[in-house]
Amino acid sequence: MNFYSVLKELCLCPSVSGREQKIREKISAIVSPFCDEMRTDALGNLIAVKKGVGGGKRVMLAAHMDEIGFMVTFIEDSGMLRVATVGGISFTAAAFGEVVSENGVRGTIIPEEKVKPADFKADSFYIDIGAKSKKQAEAKVRIGDFFVLTPHVQKLAGGRVCGRPLDDRIGCAVLLDIAERLRDKALDGDVYYVFSVQEEVGCRGAMTAAFAIKPDIAICLDVTATGDTLGASPMACRLGDGAAVKIKDASVICNEEIVRGLCETAQENKIKYQKEILLFGGTDTSSMQLAGAGAAVGAVSIPTRYIHSGNEMCDLSDAQSCAALVSEYVKKIG
C-alpha cells in the first residue's frame, strides 16, 4: 500500500471518540485482504485476526482510531454553539481554528471577547457556524453533535508531514502496514490487529479488546512527544531518529523482556530506533497491561511534534521504521 496515501485518507475522515464508525469502515476495507477474519466488538473496536499455524503466543497489536474534539451542549439564541471537550483539548491551540461537524457543518471555534489566553477553558469558548439565530442553527446542528478541528495533511521538507489528526491515524497506518508485511508469513500464534475506540477519553476500547483476546503479548502503536523543538523539556526522542521503543510513561512501565527484544530486533535488522521515556501522559499500553489477568506489554511510538494541536508533525521514515520493527519482532517471536 502507499503509506502516505493511506495516512491522508485516514486523517481526512473526522471520527471523534464515540463516533468511530466512518473511520472503522475505511480501515475495514483496507485491512480485509491482510487478515483471515474480522469483527467489531460491542464497544466498537475493529479486530482483524491473522490466524497462526498452531500453538504459538497470542499477539495483540493496537492503535486507536478516535480523535479529540468537541460536543455541542447548548445553542444560544444568537445561533452560537456552546461545547464541551472530548479528550485533552488545548484551547490555546484550538482558538480561532476552523472546525467541522460529523455531518459536514463548518464553523470556527472562538473565545469570548476579553477572555485572556491564561483563562481559556471550555465554558469561555463557542463555535460560530454563521447562523443568524437559534432556529437557523438548529436546522444544521443538534445537541450532542460532535465537531473536530478541520482535518488536513500536508507534505513538508525532509520527508515530514504536518496536519491532524496524526494522533493516532499514523499509528493506524503503521498497523495496516504491519498487517500487509505479515500477510504471507506463516506464524505459530494468532496475531490480532486491534483498531481501538475511545482512547482519548480513558483508553477504554483497548482494555475491553484485551480482556476478550487474552493476549500473551500486547504492543501499542501511538504517537509520543519529542525533545527537539525550541524550548522543549529534555527528552531523548527526536524526529527522524527512528522508531521509539517505550520504556515507560506516566501510566505504564513496559515489560523488560519486550523492550529488550524490540531493541535487539532493531539492531539485528539495522532498523533505526531510539528509546522513549515519557514523563507525562499515557496510551492504550497501560489498559492492555491490566485487562483480565494482564499481559506482557510494550509500545513502539511515532515521534510527533505539537501533539493535540491543529498541526501535528511526524517524519514518515520514523513511521516506516516502526512498521519494520514490529513486523520483524512478531516474526521473531512467532
Is 98 marked active-site?
no
What residues have CB less than 8 Å from 154, skipping those under 6 apart? Answer: 161, 162, 163
Which cell numbers in the block locate residue 322? 516502526
CA 15, chain centre distance (Å): 11
State the Cα–Cα distance between residues 155 and 239, nearest whole angstrom. Answer: 15
Q: 20, 67, 199, 200: which one is catalytic?
A: 199
What residues have CB less than 8 Å from 321, skipping those under 6 apart? Answer: 242, 243, 271, 272, 273
Could you tell me the CA-to-CA distances from 125 to 55, 91, 133, 194, 212 in Å, in that order? 55, 8, 18, 35, 40
Nearest CA-CA partner of 105 in 143, 81, 152, 140: 140
Nearest CA-CA partner of 164 in 131, 129, 196, 200: 200
Residue 142: Cβ within 10 Å count: 12
Pairing of strands 59-64, 191-196: parallel
CB 139 within 8 A of CB 284: no
Active-site positions? 199
